[in-house]
Amino acid sequence: MTRNERKLGRSKSAIRARAPNVSTREVGRRPYEITVVVLGATKVGKSALVSQYLWESFLTEYRPTVEEFNWVEYEIGDGSSLMLQ
């Protein structure tokens, strides 16, 4: 299964403390949640790296970002979900 086949949904950037709960196929089962933090100096390509991974597109124009949160969900082989924030 490729990375594209595992994706359930993509979000637009949103500032929030925590991603919302998303129900899976099994009633009452919650997705696994993993928070990934990308750190670095200004203008080194952190947002471009995240954009390349999440949306498979490269940012060509610089746009300053501060505390920008993104999330994406993947389906795991056992029928549950993995949410990366």
Is 38 a member of any domain? yes
Please, which residues have CB within 8 angstroms of residue 37's CB and are 6 or more apart in sequence?
none
The CA-based diameter of the chain, rounded to the nearest angstrom, is 44
Is 71 a member of any domain? yes
Per-residue pLDDT of 23-46, as tens digits, reads 445 445 677 777 888 888 888 888
pLDDT along the chain (85 residues), means of 10: 52 45 53 80 85 81 77 76 74
Is 39 a member of any domain? yes
Q: In terms of residue numbers, what domain contains 34? A: 3-13+28-84
How many other β-carbons are positioned within 10 Å of the β-carbon of residue 28?
Answer: 6
- pLDDT score, position 51: 82
Is 19 a member of any domain? no
Count of structural domains within the chain = 1
Is 21 a member of any domain? no
| Whole-model pTM over 0.85 | no
